[in-house]
Amino acid sequence: MKYPHAMAMMLLIEDDPVIGNALQATLRDSRHQIAWAQNGTEGLRLADQVRFELVLLDLGLPDLDGFDVCRQIRTLNPNVVMVILTASDAENDVVVALEAGADDYLTKPFRTNELQARLRAHLRRGSAAGNAARTQRFDSLVIDRSRRVVELAGHPVALRAREFDLLSALAAERGSLVSRWSLALEVWGDASIAANKTIDVHLSMLRRRLTAASVAAAVRCPRIVTVRGRGFRLESDPAEHQ
């Protein structure tokens, strides 16, 4: 299967030559252009010189802290898709990675076909954005799918790629319940995600960003409600309509 978006510019930051060579070969077979940096310093230099569409970043770098590299690349290129490669599956590390600017993560050792599926999903969403309904509105929230930006009562809300996709998926159902399975399939392209903490971690981050935006804008914001054992829904803040 070919990626819907061929010839993407990707940056791989990985110090392990075995993993690096394998990933480079796999991604080039999929017709992508790959720049490979074997340490954080070189990765940051390349990220400053080239506008990459996607970065694969190993957290265990020999010279720099992987979280710091993630933050700096996010500052250099706010719209890049950042996929973390990590040997740790500790929930705290996942949260720190997301707060540092990551959009997704894979725990080593990972299967090549899983990596390819994740990358296809990211690139497919970027390609499909122009074909989707351009704007979603939910109370004071405006979600522009074509530009992938969110505003709350006219104030910008900074979201990572997964957070944007989750919010858009929930807003599309206009307050109806969305199952974990449906979210996993729509946002990750992988129903098995529903069985672990991935959705919960990303939703927790999304809730925090929406709350911070609500405080900053001094307006009420729709809230994400968990229905235990069934799923999630986006609903109006009751105080908004009093």
Report H helices in 30-160.
Answer: 40-49, 66-76, 91-99, 112-128
- List per-residue pLDDT tens for the chain, 242 residues long: 333 444 688 999 999 999 999 999 998 888 888 999 999 999 999 998 888 889 999 999 999 999 999 999 999 988 888 999 988 777 788 888 888 889 888 888 888 888 888 887 777 665 554 444 578 999 999 999 878 899 999 999 999 999 999 999 999 888 889 888 888 878 887 777 888 889 999 999 999 999 999 999 999 999 999 998 889 999 997 665 44
d(C-alpha 65, C-alpha 73), whole Å: 13
**Are 38 and 20 contacting, i.e. CB atoms less than 8 angstroms apart?**
yes
pLDDT for 4? 41
Residue 23 dihedral angles phi and psi, to the nearest 5° = -65, -40
d(C-alpha 32, C-alpha 91), whole Å: 31
**Residue 179, CB half-sphere, CA atoms under 13 Å: how many?**
8
CATH number of 132-241: 1.10.10.10
CA dist 220 → 39, 66, 141, 177, 236 (Å): 44, 36, 10, 21, 9
Tokens at 97, concatenated: 């990675």
pLDDT for 125? 64
**Are 184 and 193 contacting, i.e. CB atoms less than 8 angstroms apart?**
yes
9-129 topology per CATH? Rossmann fold (3.40.50)
pTM: 0.64
Domain boundaries, the chain: 9-129, 132-241
